[in-house]
Chain A
């Protein structure tokens, strides 16, 4: 069974940083590209970042470019998102999601909540 479990969220002050993690199991993690998608409270889904299976290709949404860094450790079946210079508008549940190419994503984690507030 495919499982994605996020962790690392929490309350952080504006300008602060966090490192989000996603532990994958039930599939060959190293064969799949992965994504981070976020959802602000009561709002819709926003794609945040993409990383290819070998980390050779990385993309970011314009809203996070220069502040967020995606990475992965295939030996540990783990995906990461380093979020820096956080703003109130970054408050959201952050989901990791398995990439299926042009058909989008298939499996999602349960999400981890990041709250940016003073």
Chain B
């Protein structure tokens, strides 16, 4: 049973370009969460999605960032017109449902570097 798959592992972009980060949840998981780890900081929640729906995007910057989880295919975190401050590790997690005994299972992350 494959775990949460994120790609690419490393992504380099120049300022102003777009970054697309992909996350395939574990089989049978329909809940996806994105977290960001800025340098020297902890994991911070960005967005929570279920299939085709954004449930909570309270942690997403208001501009340039968007996320989707289509009916078919991986969840995508999209950052438009990247800036140096977007350099971070972006982690995706998934769970089969929401409940008090439900851990979130994490992928290995995408390390985004902005030149």
Q: Do A and B bind each other?
A: no
Q: Which residues of B contact A (CB under 8 A)?
A: none
Q: Which residues of A contact B (CB under 8 A)?
A: none
